Structure 1
Amino acid sequence: MTDLDAFITGLPKAELHLHIEGSLEPEQMFAFARRNGISIPYASVEEVRAAYAFGNLQDFLDIYYAGADVLRTRADFHDLAAAYFDRAAADGVVHAEIMFDPQTHSDRGIPFAEVIEGLLSAMEEAETRHGISSNLIMSFLRHLSEETAFETLAMAEPWLDRIMAVGLDSSELGHPPEKFARVFTAAAARGLRLVAHAGEEGPPDYVKQALDLLKVERIDHGNRALEDNALVDRLVQSGMTLTVCPLSNLKLCVVDRIEDHPIDRMLALGLKATVNSDDPAYFGGYVADNYRAIAAGRGLGKAELAELARNSFTGSFLPADIARKHVEQVDAWLAAH
């Protein structure tokens, strides 16, 4: 392990953009399929991995939803999340804000309780076992209707004190944020924080809609905001956090090469960018892999990597005093290396 590799691994960091269903490794897909007596359209782990070649977001989503079908029981969701937290701990993650897609499961007849209770038990275990704190973000699927999002919000009512925020994910093109303005207003009225995917494949206007109509506190991805100088200025002035996912951007052809990734440009412009893994089982790496990829591809040094880690804490939904302590740990790690 090189000095920079060791620095990245030990750098305290938060992960703010992680879809727990997207951490389903091919080995887990087979294990859960066997456990639940489900047949899957792949003969081997190698065949699954070979299918992970995506031309765009929709190509990925098609296999993502197929893979999620093996998740049936509370034990499945617990084991899925527990495996993620084990990997996150090895990557220096001390806080994670994980997204889950209840509609992916309720549409298959899986009770909401099975999903969330499995995740919550794994989160409690991760705090005890690894010292990782975590929050849940309940994401609405934007290719479905706002009416079904309202149904999901109602379904979640008994657990709202255990859910930190709502988000918006899935197919971006053709599903602008404005489609979900009312349900985001309803979620805010229930005390939930607000985030949304915008500006990954969708245009800069989708970022503006997320800000103006959904009133989000964080933008997931946000790459295409760079096409609008006035929007960039607005994001800088407001201190809006962007949860950027470099290896996802590469795998989904948002950038052609990791050497073309704009993460350092974002920092130079004053944008509050963070580094995250998105759907790591599908995109070739967990959060430390994403840090390593941009360090190698864009020549980022320890100071820039530490800035990204600081942003991950100040952009989190942690209480300010706890976030500040984590930032101090980042500073101490940088000073020691």
Structure 2
Amino acid sequence: MTTLPTAELHLHLEGTLEPETILRLAERNAVPLPYHDVDDLAARYDFADLQSFLDLYYANMATLRTAQDFADMTDAYLSRAAAAGVVHAEVFLDPQAHTAHGVPIEEVLDGVCAALGTAPARHGISTGLIVTMLRDHSAADAMRTLTDVLRTGAPIIGIGLDSAEVGNPPSKFVEVFARARAEGLHAVAHAGEEGPPSYVWEALDLLGVERIDHGVRSMEDERLVARLTEDQVPLTVCPLSNLRLKVVPDLASHPLPEMLRRGLMVTVNSDDPAYFGGYLDANLAAVASLHGVDGDGMRRLARNSINASFLDDVRKRELLARIDAAVAATNASA
């Protein structure tokens, strides 16, 4: 399969830490870990559900201590993303997970933003940074974190909501998202992954989000499907993540083909690729193997990713033209 130029809109930078990188950072920063070696760590990547993944995910984040660590992590993702056909990336970062380990928020943001700033020249990728709030923490903590991020003047484009979904509805963060929107930030939120369709409704109506991250359980609510279709609300779906976290029993059961058939604005993304078995190209290859997703479907997914991004219209037109040119070249050589 030829990978078309694509935007990645659902990517947790901390989820790109490969086992080798985690152990190297632990040694660099003298952080003790309970793993003997790479094989021991990799063997733990068998998850029963979202929470079992999050337990390991947050433990490994403790190896990130300095701005250089964050810059190295971000640059490594950008290099791999470019190889996967990514031309624009709007990436997530969890500041609370790092400040909880005593890392100053400036250290976190300085490192990530330094790497993102060089992405166009080094990797040919335009970028945007979205700070995500941990929904299993308090709304007061999220508000403090947002205030601290804004105080740094870091060039973020939006706010998001992630982490343990069940029992932590979007309604918990209404004031935080209202503040973010008043500051001119875009708004997105994880909803409808393990949580019910009602969380998608809350994210839309109470938080005012412009995109739903995951959203696969929206298919359980016909009225919600109708709204998402009519309003063309983007859904940033992550197939291999859904498989590894047992949101679906197997890829053949994934709702993405039906989502496309119903006219939803669905995009494909890699979520936490170091943990879930593949970057964007692997996710797209998995989707291309599904019944009902043909070449036109893949082109539509690529175009959806650009249209669902927070890019300006000029950059969107440029990237959409690149997709059309790549399709034309493929067809001419067929």
Q: Fold-level match, TM-score > 0.5?
A: yes
Distance 1:333 1:64 in 2: 37
CA contact (8 A) 2:192 2:218 kept: yes
Distance 2:19 2:292 in 1: 32
Aligned with residue 225 of structure 2, among 198, 208, 232: 232
Q: CA deviation at 1:241?
A: 0.3
2:314 alignment counterpart = 321
Distance 1:106 1:36 in 2: 16
Distance 1:231 1:184 in 2: 22
Q: Does residue 177 of structure 2 align to residue 212 of structure 1?
A: no
Moved over 4 A (4+): none
1:147 alignment counterpart = 140
Q: CA deviation at 1:301?
A: 2.2
Q: CA deviation at 1:328?
A: 1.4
Distance 2:24 2:290 in 1: 35
Q: Give the direction of change, closer, same or farther, for the CA distance of 1:182–1:216 in structure 2 (3 Å limit).
A: same
Q: CA deviation at 1:159?
A: 3.9
Q: Does residue 188 of structure 2 align to residue 195 of structure 1?
A: yes
1:56 alignment counterpart = 49
CA contact (8 A) 1:302 1:334 kept: no
2:257 alignment counterpart = 264
Distance 1:286 1:159 in 2: 31
Matches within 5 A, 1:282-301: 282-298=275-291, 300-301=293-294
Distance 1:161 1:31 in 2: 28
The total of aligned residue pairs comes to 330
CA contact (8 A) 1:303 1:334 kept: no
2:30 alignment counterpart = 37
| Length-normalised TM-score, structure 2 | 0.97
Q: Which amino acid aligns with 1:105?
A: H
For structure 1, the 5+ residue unaligned runs are: none
Q: Which amino acid aligns with 2:69?
A: D
Q: CA deviation at 1:300?
A: 2.4
Q: Give the direction of change, closer, same or farther, for the CA distance of 1:310–1:159 in structure 2 (3 Å limit).
A: farther
Distance 1:39 1:323 in 2: 45
Matches within 5 A, 1:86-235: 86-160=79-153, 162-235=155-228
Distance 1:186 1:213 in 2: 13
Q: Which amino acid aligns with 1:78?
A: A
Distance 1:173 1:273 in 2: 23
CA deviation profile, 1:10-45 (whole Å, cap 9, x unmatched): x10000000000001000001100110111110111
Distance 1:39 1:177 in 2: 35
Q: Which amino acid aligns with 2:271?
A: D
Distance 2:313 2:222 in 1: 30
Distance 2:311 2:210 in 1: 13
Q: Does residue 54 of structure 2 align to residue 72 of structure 1?
A: no
Distance 1:264 1:321 in 2: 30
Q: Give the direction of change, closer, same or farther, for the CA distance of 1:331–1:71 in structure 2 (3 Å limit).
A: same
Distance 2:62 2:103 in 1: 10
Aligned with residue 301 of structure 2, among 308, 328, 333: 308
Matched-pair identity in %: 51
Distance 2:19 2:326 in 1: 35
Q: Does residue 237 of structure 2 align to residue 244 of structure 1?
A: yes
| Length-normalised TM-score, structure 1 | 0.96
Q: CA deviation at 1:298?
A: 3.3
CA contact (8 A) 1:26 1:49 kept: yes
CA deviation profile, 1:133-162 (whole Å, cap 9, x unmatched): 100000000000000001001111234560
CA contact (8 A) 1:261 1:298 kept: no
CA contact (8 A) 2:47 2:245 kept: yes
CA deviation profile, 1:218-273 (whole Å, cap 9, x unmatched): 00000010001110010011110000000000000011111111111111101000
Distance 2:328 2:153 in 1: 40
Aligned with residue 276 of structure 1, among 248, 261, 269: 269
CA deviation profile, 1:292-321 (whole Å, cap 9, x unmatched): 011123352221111101000000000022
CA contact (8 A) 1:314 1:324 kept: no
Give 3-state SS (helix, strand or coil) of 2:25's partner.
helix
